[in-house]
Amino acid sequence: MNSTFLLDRGLGERMRNHVLVPPESSYFDHELQCTVLATTPSARPDLWREFVEGARESYSHFGVEKALEYERIADGSTTSLFFAKLSRSGELCGGLRVQGPYSYPQQTHADLEWASSPTGRAALRSMVADRLPHGVVEMKTVWSSVDGPRCGRPGYLGAIGASLAAAVLGCRFTLATSADHAVGPYLDSGAVMAAHIDPVPYPDHRYNTRILWWDQRAIHATASAETYRYISDAVDALLGRAPIPTEAAAS
């Protein structure tokens, strides 16, 4: 069996040349029943402002606006890429943003989240350092509209978004942090929890937040078969390439 995961096609070339999809690339996601647009704050400042305001409304609704860090992210300088869910009428109904690729371990936002745990922070930095040669991005600010149209099941875009981000930015690893109650869809999409690092009460004492990693060369083994299929279809659609036949992917 070929050990290279099918999302890896062309990964080495993209990492050498830092080539990603055009400034705007999109596909229609049949599971979400909406369009997923990948773009940047500088390419779409209008949509970025809408994204940040939508995220603030969503985070405020759940009483976790502190975790959004609105003032820090609003100008877009910390965001290399963001994904927007657009309803059939073109209305923004959720999304996520991406930081990286990183150059050194202390750059991650997770590093700030583990500031209260020196042992955990040291272990996190060690994990990041080991993965940096292969490319590391971090998924942040996953949100869905509070009052607008609902697109797909809760957690779905975040679940596939880790692999979409890695594919677009030519990286092998995606890092994210998540409270215990929300890890289910992430684990289903191939995330592996850093179980040796104790959780932290972030953004406050109501939450036990944990570290998750997606390895694009391993999620064929760590994701559920159904979600793996969704991910591979989404990546192929977003990158504008023909999907591999089932027999070829399994050979």
> What does the pLDDT look like over 85-108, one tens digit per residue?
999 999 999 999 999 999 999 999
Look at the pTM and tell me if it is higher than 0.75.
Answer: yes
Per-residue pLDDT, 146 = 81
When pLDDT is averaged across residues 5-22 and rounded to a whole number, the result is 45
**Measured on CA atoms in the order 102, 193, 170, 32, is the torsion positive or negative?**
negative
Per-residue pLDDT, 20 = 54
Phi then psi for residue 127, to 5 deg, are -65, -45
Considering only residues 17 and 203, tell me which one the structure prediction assigns the higher pLDDT. Answer: 203
All domains of the chain, ordered by start, with CATH? 6-239 (3.40.630.30)
Which residues, 6 or more positions from 41, have their beta carbon under 8 angstroms from its beta carbon? 48, 75, 76, 77, 79, 82
When pLDDT is averaged across residues 228-242 and rounded to a whole number, the result is 90
**What's the DSSP call for residue 224?**
-
For 39-82, how does the pLDDT look when each residue is reduced to its tens digit (9 = 90+)?
Answer: 999 999 999 999 999 999 999 988 898 898 999 999 999 999 99
How much of the chain, in percent, has pLDDT values that exceed 70? 84
Per-residue pLDDT, 180 = 95
